[in-house]
Every structure is written in structure tokens, then in C-alpha cells.
Amino acid sequence: MNHRLLTEHLVELEHRCDPAALRHHGLQVWPVARLAIWNCINGSAAQFLRLPEAALCSVRHVLTPHGAATLAAAAEQAQAGREVDMLLFSAAGYYTDQCEGLAYNRHVDPLLDLFGDRWRMVPLELVEGRQPPQSGQPPQQARKHPGLVLEYAVQRRPMPGAQAGKIAGFEALAPAVQALLGEAVDHARILQDITTLRAWRALYTQVLQALQPRCVGIVCYYHLQAMGLAWACRSLGIPCVELQHGKQGKYHGMYTHWTRMPADGYEVLPDHFWLWGEESRQNMVATLAPDRRAPVVFTAGSPWLTLWLDGPGCDPSPEMQQRLDARCAGRHPVLVSLQPLEEPVPPALFQAIRQSPPSWLWLLRLHPRNVAEAGSLAAWFAELGFRNVEVALANEAPLYSLLTRSRHHVTGFSSVAYEALQFGLSSTVFHPTTRDMYADYLASGHFRYADSTQAMLHSVAQGIAEPPRQEAQPYILHGQDRLRACLERLLARNEGQRLPEPAAA
């Protein structure tokens, strides 16, 4: 199922059912059900709409003794005058870049590089216990901006259905989902998600009460842990903002086409959304009531792009730069942003790599979820005798270091296509969903769709030969003044002060 069709199904569900009627002990739970349905974009509906366990379980997330001691020490610092201005929810999987030889989170760390001397910004990460490194996995690389890492444990026990309670309004939702998706949504599945969500809220309430941050930033809100954090912020009156981390487009069911959003938003969603540019903002607000109180949706630009284009940048170590320059010397580098698809390197792309001129160098960069597979992917191409493929450096070097050296960009539908335009590169896109997601950019010629080997070779050759591209109205904005102004408003001490909605462009 593609993004557009599934988004349209969500709209139809909001018309067939009353989202406000879906409640569990007073909590509006339509966003939880909507998330389960949206996750069907990643596989079969049964995988996401059925409870995988045999029975419901109660869930508690509790800090380990080490985690509790770490939090207590951080709370003492805050009380001693080192107030936390902004707590930035993070995770190990976001540290996909390098800066000065250290691991770097391109969604969070640029804020510390640009504004860390003015505000105290603390990356927050929760990890489940002390996990020993898996066999063959390299040790975690030191980070440029170490954050607050709290260990927790999960406690589960079987829970009778009567104890879990019932979701009001579910009797209308279930047949509507069955009719549209061909798969029944399991009441127990959504109830289990709600139970897990409540456990996350309880743990994050403990963290927030200890640290008392002025604001909380979330990189990606649409999973249960982040929703629990957003709910805890709402309960405590702490502004919570989602920082855009990738493309959203016209059809993304967790950002667009909320047709019956309450005037104050949902408790489990952030009350602010920080977007890269006006197109993203317009896509999100198109179906929201203009007189709503939340969420506030504003255009702030990209801190990562700002760091590179208006700040000091964040190059890798000199040794890595030398290796990268030596590998690209005398070649036409083509950056390929792979994605967590069932077939990341489809046959048409594989054959294009095989048949391409020897002067082309294919830089294959895996999606952050799959970066651990870089070694096996490199070995596979090496066994096949490919000399025009580079995997190791493409996954070790910062994305923008690769873009500054590339002549063209190829992807299924990654938002790197938008970032590539900031470096003058057009993109070849090969996944069918791009015809809906990127219709305007395909029409403008910034992106070219290619679903065959020959079409792909022709598009890449055109991209290598053409002059640098430039958008009339960039999808991603940058600029330190804009970022600073937005942060000032988010961090304003006046209780309840929110960013105003900008006027439509």
C-alpha cells in the first residue's frame, strides 16, 4: 500500500468514525490507533493490527539503580544553577554522522554547536538496561556532544482483559478498518499500545519533574515512547516541539490530513511542530482548523543545513577527508541513498551500477536502520568484482561531505533528494510512490523518475553533465537568525507563550 492510499484511508476513517469518541479512561486514543494503522505502510496489515502476544500484559518502565543515580545527579546540577533550557529526546540510532572523528546526531547536535553557548541543551536518551555488544558489532563511538543516558528496565505481567478496560468507540472503528484495509484491527492490540504508552508517560513524568526543562524537543514523535514523552510534557505544562527529521510530503498520515483535530490538539502529540520550510508547513496545516490552539506549526529551517551553509560546518577527521578525496579523485561520484525496503538495491539499480562507465563511482549509503549491514553489502559487491562501488566511506563520512563531492543523487524516495538540491544536485528517483510524493519536483525536472536500467543510466548521465540546480523556493530553509528567533520564543519563560502561526507565503 502506498502513502497516498493509506493516507486517504485514514481520512475516510475520520469521517466514518468520531475520533473524539475513541477514549480510554478519558484519554483520546485516536492517535494511537492511527499510528498502528499508519505502520501498515511498512508491511502486511495483520503484522501491525494484531496483538503478537497471546495475552495482554501490564507494563512498567522503571529506572535501574544506575539510571536513578544518573538522573539524581543531573537534577542536582539543574537545581544548582545549571538549568536545562531544552531537553532533546534522542536515540543511539540517530548518531549516523561524524564530526571531528566523533559520532554526531545531525538532528540534535547542530543546535548545540550553533547555540550551546547561549542555552543549555541536553540530549536525552533512554536505554534498556546494560546491553552487551552483539558479536561482530564495533564498540559505540564516542560522541561529540555526550548527553544524559538513563538506563531503565521493563516489567511485564499478564493482565486480564477486564482489568485493562475497554476503548470507548472502538465498536465503530473496527468494522471501518476491516472494510478499508481488509484486515480487522484487534482491540487487544490497541489496548496493549495504550498500556505501553501510559508506562512511558509515567517514566518521563519522573524525568521531567527531576530536570524541570523549559522546553522539550523530539526528533520523531510517532512511536509510543515519544508519544509518552509528549503526553508527560502536556501534563506538566512544558512546551514540546517535534523537530522535522525528514520529508513529510503531501501524504504522510502522521503529519498530514488530520481532519478532525481537537482545538487543543491531542494529549499524546507535541504541541509545536518545527518544520524545514513553507511547503512542509502548508502540507500539515491544510486540514487543520485555523483557529485551533494546538498544534502550532511553524517554519524554522534546518539546523544541520544551517551549520554547513551559514556556520562552521562539521567535517570528518582529516584522515577520513583524505581517504574520501583519494577515492573520488578522477571519478564522477553518484550518491545513492538506500532505504529500508525489502529490496534496498533493486534489479534496475544493480544493473545500472554494473553497466555504468568506469568513471562513475557509486557511493552506496544505507538507511540509518540498516547501517550495520554496510560490511556485508561491501563484501557482496567485492565478491562480484565491482570496482566502481564504495560502501564503507559512504556510511562513515557525513552526508553533506558526500554531497559536496557528488555529481548526482539517486534514491527510492529519501528526503536526501531535497538536501541534495541545496548542493546543486538533481536526483533520480526509482520508487513508484515518488510519483505522488514528489509530483511537483518531477514536473520541474529537479527529480527524474526512472524505473528501468536504461532510464536510470540516462538520468544519471544527464545529472552528471548538467549545471548546478537551484530551487526558486527551497524546500529546506537555513539561517541562524531564523533558528535563534524560534528558539527564543520556544524558551520564553512566560507560561503558555507559543509561537504564532506565520502568515501564508
Question: Which three-class secondary structure string do you get for 429-443?
Answer: ECCCCHHHHCHHHHH
- Are the C-beta atoms of 270 and 295 separated by less than 8 Å? yes
| 182-228 pLDDT tens trace | 988 999 999 999 999 999 999 999 999 999 999 999 999 999 999 99
Cell of 473: 523556493
- DSSP letter (8 states) at residue 185: P
Query: What pLDDT score does 495 carry?
Result: 47
Cα–Cα distance measured from residue 476 to residue 310, given in angstroms and rounded to the nearest whole number: 14
Query: What pLDDT score does 254 carry?
Result: 97
Considering only CA atoms, which of 253, 279, 287 is closest in space to residue 444? 279
Considering only CA atoms, which of 465, 475, 367 is closest in space to residue 421? 475
Beta carbons within 10 angstroms of residue 379's beta carbon: 11
- Are the C-beta atoms of 289 and 263 separated by less than 8 Å? yes
DSSP string over 400-451: HHHHHH-SEEEESS-THHHHHHTTT--EEE-STTHHHHTHHHHHHTSEEE--
Cα–Cα distance measured from residue 396 to residue 322, given in angstroms and rounded to the nearest whole number: 13
Cα–Cα distance measured from residue 118 to residue 282, given in angstroms and rounded to the nearest whole number: 31
Cell of 18: 468520531
Q: Which segments of 182-274 does DSSP mark as H helices, in order?
A: 187-211, 224-236
Considering only CA atoms, which of 39, 44, 500, 498 is closest in space to residue 239? 498
Considering only CA atoms, which of 378, 390, 385 is closest in space to residue 336? 390
| 384-441 pLDDT tens trace | 999 999 999 999 888 999 999 999 999 999 989 999 999 999 999 999 989 988 889 9
Burial grade of 66 (CB within 10 A; 0-12, 13-18, 19 or more) = middle
Q: How many helices (H) and strands (E) does the chain have?
A: 21, 18
> Where in 304-346 does DSSP place strands (E)?
332-337
Residue numbers of the chain with a pLDDT score lower than 50: 135-137, 494-505
Beta carbons within 10 angstroms of residue 215's beta carbon: 22
Strand partners, 60: 155
* Predicted structure pTM score: 0.87
> Which residue is associated with the grid cell 544493480?
350
